[in-house]
A and B are shown apart, each in its own frame.
Chain A
């Protein structure tokens, strides 16, 4: 085990950094795409159920199927890393649209009305009143999406681009457990670290949640 680590340091490092890249880019793209869609679902009530049902259906599609269908839709090669990024972005969006919509819906209408009465226009009210109030719900969803993405990236190894997943397929070919164990441990640790970072952001950006909890308890 230790010998494997000593001999394969660079390979493991490369796999890890590709894994981080493949997991994080979809999260960022997913946030950018799902915010406006989630807002539309809340702003126009007739869109709410169609949009949420669509994202539910997309979320049900197995990851490997999505990854291999992307190239035929986009017209790129099946072994392109872009496939993983697009497929994981679709998952992230499917998960976050619901979260953004539910978060915005949880804003007390009285608060929104008060903001309007104070002279906030729609966009400013959204950015400085509604989004901050919805933030705890949205960040909770973001944690789920990020952790799920980190573990899904390795499925990409089946089309040859999978970050730490390539350690799994190598272990399978060599019938040798150490690379697989290293890959699993690094993947779980990476998920825990990213999850922890979001929790820290949550504490920084929404101090009132903890303050309210302290008063309640």
Chain B
């Protein structure tokens, strides 16, 4: 890349904090959209996923949500809502929420369903009430999957709100869409580089948070191992044959 392409990105006057249209204020707008959309989507999808996973009712919704969400063209959904509802942030927010719900819902449901029934029986046997079983056992054990769903939703929303600049909202997509319209490629490059860096950074931070909230008992990290006798593998588990392994595994990502 030559200097010309990076000129907008490296020009200090585009980085003045607080000036409208400057890169920092676009980043803040972008993050603000993202937070709103993910919070609203989580407020809908988490309880729903917990309910479906815990009770097993309505599970077809959770199973089909992932595929439906992936195949919906994001740009089309945003433009359709804007054409139907008029310009403004509300139609865009609704579109972002619709796109962020499936990853959260599906992983929450799958995480709760995957909890070992023996552990649930044990919890009930210890006298836990249904709500205690859900929040003290099922949610902590499902947390790795739930948080990876939240991370996916976060990335999805950051990417989609970039595209949403096309219908006139702010955020880093402005640099891309305006740059293309004005044939100002250095502006496009600046927007693309910053939004890519933002997405990677947010994902990294989310990964660190994810690691810190998950019970060490699930990951095996930071567990001080007491010296234990080597116990032979329980005879109930079938001998590994190779074939059922991948067969059962395919269900998780496709469902």
Contact = CB atoms under 8 A, between A and B. Distances in A.
A184 B185 contact: no
Interface string A61-94: 1111110110011000010000000000000000
Contacts, number: 180
Interface residues of B, number: 51
Question: Secondary structure at chain A's binding surface: helix, strand, loop or mixed?
Answer: helix
Nearest to A190: B71
Interface in A168-201: 168-169, 171-172, 175-177, 180-181, 183-184, 187-188, 191-192, 195
Contacts of B5: 72
A208 interface: yes
B31 interface: no
Interface string A54-65: 001101111111
A169 B1 CA distance: 31
B65 interface: no
Interface stretch (A1-9, A26-34, A42-50, A158-166): A158-166
Contacts of A143: 254
Interface in A135-160: 135-137, 139-141, 143-144, 147-148, 150-151, 154-155, 157-159
Contacts of B250: 136-137, 139-140, 209
B76 A110 contact: no
Q: Which of B80, B200, B246 has the most CB of A within 10 A?
A: B246
B166 A184 contact: no
Contacts of A169: 79, 166
A191 B71 contact: yes
Given A61-B199, A158-B166, A172-B83, A212 B244 contact: yes
Interface string A109-137: 01100000000000000000000011111
Nearest to A195: B67
A72 B75 contact: no
B72 A188 contact: yes
Given A106-B249, A108-B240, A108-B242, A62 B72 contact: no
Interface residues of A, number: 65
Nearest to B159: A62
B242 A133 contact: yes
Q: Which of A106, A143, A162, A172 has the most CB of B within 10 A?
A: A172
A107 interface: yes
A178 to B, nearest CB: 10
Interface string B88-130: 0000000000000000000000000000000000000000000
Nearest to B2: A72
Contact of A68 (B77, B79, B83, B180): B180
Nearest to A99: B253
Contacts of A208: 243, 247
A60 B202 CA distance: 9
A66 to B, nearest CB: 7
A191 B196 CA distance: 26
A57 B200 contact: yes
A128 to B, nearest CB: 14
Interface of B: 1, 5, 67-68, 70-77, 79-80, 82-84, 155, 158-159, 162-163, 166-167, 173, 176-177, 180, 185, 188-189, 191-193, 195-196, 199-200, 203, 240-247, 249-250, 253-254
25 contacts: A57-B200, A60-B203, A62-B163, A64-B163, A64-B192, A68-B189, A133-B242, A137-B249, A137-B250, A140-B250, A144-B253, A147-B67, A148-B70, A150-B73, A151-B71, A151-B72, A154-B76, A165-B76, A169-B79, A172-B79, A184-B72, A184-B73, A187-B71, A188-B68, A212-B247
Given A69-B192, A108-B245, 14 more contacts: A59-B155, A60-B200, A62-B155, A64-B159, A64-B173, A65-B199, A108-B240, A111-B242, A133-B246, A155-B75, A155-B163, A157-B75, A168-B80, A209-B250
